[in-house]
Structure 1
């Protein structure tokens, strides 16, 4: 034999453990977000504050009041 000897490769390295843990955490959080987080929201409004009427097509008129001061470019 010589001075060379075979170095055995570790199967559970810190990097591999962290990668598996990170992947499991990501999958777990994804399942939690999909299963338990409800994106719907509700709003309770009094019946007399709701207006229901027929929709009419017309021109859209929009006015936004902007207050400011114009300064010249330096």
Structure 2
């Protein structure tokens, strides 16, 4: 479930614009995430909107994900 856009797809809901993956996560988990919470991609593909690949965390978790991705040699350009 990857969008065909070059960047993460955005959408508008109730007059607010947000990233599609954040919207999908919040709807499927019936959660209103705060702005301090980020939606993380287990697959490391920011265009992915598959709820099974998404998890919630904070900015520190997101930075650790990026470090892990770099340590494992995952290249965004290949996703």
> What is the TM-score of this pair, normalised by structure 1?
0.22
Q: Which has the larger radius of gyration?
A: 1
Where is the strand percentage greater, Structure 1 or Structure 2? 2
> What is the TM-score of this pair, normalised by structure 2?
0.21
Greater relative contact order (CA < 8 Å, ≥ 6 in sequence): 2
